[in-house]
Amino acid sequence: MLTTRFVDGAPNWIDVGTSDMEGAQSFYGGLFGWEFRSAGPDAGGYGFFELAGRIVAGGMRTTPEQGPPAWTVYFRSPDAGATAEAARQAGGSVPMPPMDVMDQGRAAILADQAGVPFGIWEPARRKGIEAAGEVGALCWAELYTPDIARAAAFYHAALGWETSAVTFPGGVYTSVNPAGTGEDGMFGGMVPLADDPVEAGTGQPYWLPYIGVDDTDAVVDRAVELGGTVRMPATSLAGVGRLARLEDPYGARFAVLKGDPRQT
């Protein structure tokens, strides 16, 4: 499960790049109760979303040249340079090479074999987000990809992940966990693009972060009121919980979940 006791390969940060930072602050503040705090004058406009005084995400304004608005999921690396090289060797790329983030740690943006961007964070003073696996914080992450086997091989080579097949009503789900952590370490899964009715036909593989909520339907309604879009309405899955996929007013996609995906 997702906790803030981070191990190598586990998600330890998320952030949103958006065309309208003030608008994003208003949207996520209204939706989850997040408050935004600047990281300081030397941070280039980057800042932190906080819930009850704990950092749950980051965010900054991005330009069209940097890509469309999107959420990025970061994974803990013991050595950002070595992980970036492992990703290259496994058929991925390094759009943003490892760089020092003041005295907080080292960050890089990589892309997997299908071109899906993700981040890595090598912690120094900052270990990662300060809340996870609870209401208002990251609780799960899914990769929508055209080829599960190739993706599993890539992330195993780059981050050491292990995968397992979990049977649920209607099919089989590929779950992922950091090396050696087993079922207790499951933090997400991989979904074939072609088999998903929401994503089929988009042709765009991507990482989707899930935020924990205590009332999925109410959050969906509120997202619409705040200018968001419902990509998949609130849906109950036996043994999982009630989830929905949303898009903020600027195009960044995310999901919400009441429940624990590991209960499948």
pLDDT on residue 49? 98
- On whether both 200 and 150 belong to a single domain, the answer is yes
Domain assignment of residue 5, yes or no = no
> What is the per-residue DSSP string for the chain?
---SS--TTSEEEEEEEES-HHHHHHHHHHHH--EEEE--TTSTT-EEEEETTEEEEEEEE--GGG-SSEEEEEEE-S-HHHHHHHHHHTT-EEEEEEEEETTTEEEEEEE-TT--EEEEEEESS--S-S--SSBTSEEEEEEEES-HHHHHHHHHHHH--EEEEEEETTEEEEEEE-TT-GGGG--EEEEEGGG-TTTTTT---EEEEEEE-S-HHHHHHHHHHTT-EEEEEEEEETTTEEEEEEE-TTS-EEEEEEE-GGG-
pLDDT on residue 264? 39
Contact 24, 33 (CB under 8 A): no
pLDDT on residue 263? 47
| Residues 185-242 pLDDT 10s | 999 999 999 888 887 666 689 999 999 999 999 999 999 999 999 999 999 988 789 9
Q: What is the mean pLDDT of the chain?
A: 94
* Residue after which a domain boundary falls, among 69, 96, 123: 123
- On whether both 162 and 257 belong to a single domain, the answer is yes
CATH number of the domain at 104, please.
Answer: 3.10.180.10
- Domain hosting residue 114, numbered range: 11-123
| Residues 100-159 pLDDT 10s | 999 999 999 999 999 999 999 999 999 999 999 999 999 999 999 999 999 999 999 999
Residue 35's pLDDT band (cuts 50, 70, 90): very high
| Dihedral pair phi/psi, residue 127, rounded to 5° | -80, -30
Domain assignment of residue 2, yes or no = no
pLDDT on residue 260? 59
- On whether both 156 and 99 belong to a single domain, the answer is no
- On whether both 16 and 104 belong to a single domain, the answer is yes
Instruction: Check residues 2 and 22 and name the one with the higher pLDDT.
Output: 22
- On whether both 181 and 73 belong to a single domain, the answer is no
Domain assignment of residue 217, yes or no = yes
* Residue after which a domain boundary falls, among 123, 147, 181: 123
pLDDT on residue 201? 67
- On whether both 147 and 251 belong to a single domain, the answer is yes
- On whether both 115 and 152 belong to a single domain, the answer is no
pLDDT on residue 171? 81
Buried b / exposed e over 184-218, threshold 16 CB at 10 Å, is ebbbbbbbbbeeeeebeeeeebbbbbbbbbeebee
* Residue after which a domain boundary falls, among 89, 123, 157: 123
Over residues 88-107, mean pLDDT: 97
pLDDT on residue 233? 97
Domain assignment of residue 131, yes or no = no
Domain assignment of residue 132, yes or no = no
- On whether both 143 and 45 belong to a single domain, the answer is no
Domain assignment of residue 134, yes or no = no
Domain assignment of residue 218, yes or no = yes
The number of folded domains in the chain is 2
- On whether both 147 and 74 belong to a single domain, the answer is no
Domain assignment of residue 60, yes or no = yes
- Strands 138-145 and 35-38 turn out to be unpaired
Instruction: Check residues 258 and 264 and name the one with the higher pLDDT.
Output: 258
- On whether both 110 and 145 belong to a single domain, the answer is no
- On whether both 95 and 187 belong to a single domain, the answer is no
Contact 35, 259 (CB under 8 A): no
Nearest in space to 250 (alpha carbons), one of 48, 28, 13, 30: 28
Share of the chain above pLDDT 90, in %: 86
Residue 168 has pLDDT above 90, yes or no: no
- On whether both 196 and 228 belong to a single domain, the answer is yes
What pTM was estimated for this model as a whole?
A: 0.96
